[in-house]
Structure 1
Amino acid sequence: MMLSFFDQFMSPTLLGIPLIALALTVPWILFPRPTTRWLNNRLLTLQSWFVSNFTQQIFLPINPGGHKWAALLTSLMVFLITLNMLGLLPYTFTPTTQLSLNLAFAVPLWLATVIIGMRDQPTHALSHLLPEGTPVLLIPVLIIIETISLLIRPLALAVRLTANLTAGHLLIQLIATAAFVLLPLMPTVAILTTILLFLLTLLEVAVAMIQAYVFVLLLSLYLQENV
Structure 2
Amino acid sequence: MTLSFFDQFMSPVFLGIPLSLMAILLPWALFPSPTDRWLNNRVLTLQNWFISRVTRELFMPINPAGHKWALLLVSLMLFLITINMLGLLPYTFTPTTQLSINLGLAVPLWLATVIMGLRNQPTHALGHLLPEGTPSPLIPILIIIETISLFIRPLALGVRLTANLTAGHLLIQLIATAALVLIPIMPAVAALTYIVLVLLTLLEIAVAMIQAYVFVLLLTLYLQENV
The question of a shared fold, defined as TM-score above 0.5 by the shorter chain, is answered with yes
CA deviations over 1:17-72 (Å, ceiling 9, x no partner)? 10111000100112341201110111110111111111111000000010000000
* 1:117 paired residue number: 117
d(CA) in 2 for partners of 1:118, 1:220: 17
Distance 1:30 1:176 in 2: 29
SS at match of 2:132: coil
AA aligned to 1:8 is: Q
SS at match of 1:152: helix
The within-5 A match list for 1:1-227 is 3-227=3-227
Measure, in 2, the Cα distance between the counterparts of 1:193 and 1:210.
25
Alpha-carbon separation, structure 2, partners of 1:117 and 1:128:
11
Stretches of structure 2 that go unaligned for 5 or more consecutive residues are: none
1:125 match: secondary structure: helix
Q: What SS does the corresponding residue of 1:90 show, helix, strand or coil?
A: coil
In 2, Cα distance between equivalents of 1:2 and 1:159: 28
Give how far 1:101 is off: 0.1
Matched positions, count: 227
| Paired residue secondary structure (2:225) | helix
Change (3 A) 1:64 1:51: same
How far apart, in 2, do the equivalents of 1:83 and 1:211 lie?
Answer: 12
Moved over 4 A (4+): none
Letter in 2 for 1:74: V
Cα separation, 1, equivalents of 2:4 and 2:74: 36
State how far apart, in whole Å, the 2-side matches of 1:29 and 1:210 are: 22
Query: Structure 2 counterpart of 1:173, which letter?
Result: Q
1:56-90 deviation digits (Å, cap 9, x = unpaired) = 11000000010000000000000000000000000
How far is 1:214 from its partner?
0.3
CA shift, 1:2, in A, is: 6.0
Deviations 1:179-217 (A, max 9, x none): 000000000000000000000000000000000000000
- Which secondary structure does the structure 2 equivalent of 1:89 belong to? coil
CA deviation after TM superposition for structure 1 residue 118, in Å: 0.1
**Partners of 2:113 and 2:173 in 1: CA distance:** 38
Q: What is the percentage of aligned positions where both structures have the same residue? A: 79
Distance 2:17 2:2 in 1: 21
- Residue 2 to residue 9, structure 1, CA distance change in 2 (3 Å): farther
